């Protein structure tokens, strides 16, 4: 098997904490009562019918977040159509505050060890805004960012994985892909990549698994 040379990460949920995990911060930032936001996605799928519909491929991930964006906008008496509005209003001007500590540690360890780094996202700039990359220095460690905001091609379309491997000039088997959505993992596996299905409930375990592909130990 081809020796792994690159770590390819999904962004939202993998590098950053999900909006499901930060309801308290969102409620505080928007000035709405604590406990108002009850949808929990992967943390309580049985109580989130919209999430279930997405997992069943009845709606897309973008459809899910479009619906949540409109819902939260109505709570503050505004008409929100863009996910960028939701994310920036909920999380403020400090993008580093929502980066998973496990993600930063892994990215820096990989970079220092000569592992190449890439982001493969369906909505990086769509959700976070076009100036987000500039405000998050950690992203400067990445060799490339493939973002469907601009390509218009969403995971798990095979062309998305091909775009990353082509840009890195590496075979698929040399890339370790990490994503929290099973459908995207299945797409990467079909494309020939090594994969880690990221568990948002246990980031330490998932990043440890990813680093192990390169002979690196995350540690405690």
Q: What secondary structure does DSSP assign to the chain, as a single string?
A: -PPP-EEEE-SBTTTB--TTTTHHHHHHHHT--TT-----GGGSGGG-HHHHHHHTTSS-HHHHHHHHHHHHHHHTT-----HHHHHHHHHTT-GGGGB-HHHHHHHHHHHHTT-EEEEEESSHHHHH-TTHHHH-GGGGG-SEEEEHHHH---TTSHHHHHHHHHHHT--GGGEEEEES-HHHHHHHHHTT-EEEE--TT-HHHHHHHHHHTTT-----
| One domain for residues 149 and 77 | no
| One domain for residues 207 and 106 | yes
| pLDDT at residue 139 in the model | 95
| pLDDT at residue 46 in the model | 96
| pLDDT at residue 171 in the model | 97
| One domain for residues 109 and 204 | yes
Residues (pLDDT < 70) of the chain are: 1, 92-93, 220
Q: Answer with the one of 54, 77, 94 that is the final residue of a domain.
A: 94
CA distance 115 to 178: 14
* Single pTM value for the model: 0.88
| pLDDT at residue 130 in the model | 80
User: Domain for residue 219, yes or no?
Assistant: no
| One domain for residues 53 and 30 | yes
| One domain for residues 89 and 103 | no
CATH number of the domain bearing residue 176: 3.40.50.1000
Q: Answer with the one of 94, 113, 142 that is the final residue of a domain.
A: 94
User: Domain for residue 185, yes or no?
Assistant: yes
Q: Which of 152, 158, 147 is nearest to 189 (CA)?
A: 158
User: Domain for residue 120, yes or no?
Assistant: yes
* Strands of 116-121's sheet in order across: 144-147, 116-121, 6-9, 175-179, 194-197
| pLDDT at residue 134 in the model | 85
| pLDDT at residue 132 in the model | 83
| One domain for residues 13 and 30 | no
| One domain for residues 82 and 162 | no
The count of structural domains within the chain is 2
Q: Answer with the one of 40, 74, 94 that is the final residue of a domain.
A: 94
| pLDDT at residue 93 in the model | 57
Q: Which domain holds residue 52?
A: 23-94
| One domain for residues 53 and 80 | yes
User: Domain for residue 217, yes or no?
Assistant: no
| pLDDT at residue 131 in the model | 82
Q: How far are the Cα atoms of 75, 90, 123, 153 from residue 30, in angstroms, in the given order?
A: 9, 7, 23, 32
Cis peptide before 156 (omega within 30 of 0): yes
Sequence-distant (≥ 6) Cβ neighbours of residue 12 within 8 angstroms: 18, 121, 123, 124, 127
């Amino acid at each position: 098997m081809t020796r792994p040379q690159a770590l390819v990460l999904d962004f939202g949920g993998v590098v950053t904490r999900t909006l499901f995990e930060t309801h308290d911060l969102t409620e505080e930032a928007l000035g709405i009562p604590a406990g108002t936001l009850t949808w929990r996605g992967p943390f309580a799928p049985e109580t989130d019918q919209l999430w279930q519909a997405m997992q069943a491929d009845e709606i897309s991930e973008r459809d899910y977040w479009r619906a949540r964006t409109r819902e939260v906008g109505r709570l503050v008496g505004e008409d929100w159509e863009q996910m960028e509005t939701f994310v920036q209003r909920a999380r403020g001007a400090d993008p580093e505050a929502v980066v998973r500590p496990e993600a930063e540690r892994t990215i820096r360890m990989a970079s220092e060890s000569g592992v190449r780094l890439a982001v493969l996202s369906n909505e990086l700039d769509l959700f976070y805004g076009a100036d987000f990359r500039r405000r998050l220095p950690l992203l400067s460690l990445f060799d490339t960012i493939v973002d469907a905001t601009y390509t218009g091609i969403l995971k798990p379309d095979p062309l998305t994985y091909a775009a990353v491997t082509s840009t890195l000039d590496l075979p698929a088997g040399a890339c370790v892909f990490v994503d929290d959505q099973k459908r995207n993992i299945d797409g990467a596996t079909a494309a020939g990549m090594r994969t880690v299905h990221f568990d948002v409930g246990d980031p330490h375990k998932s990043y440890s698994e990813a680093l192990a592909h390169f002979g690196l130990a995350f540690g405690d």
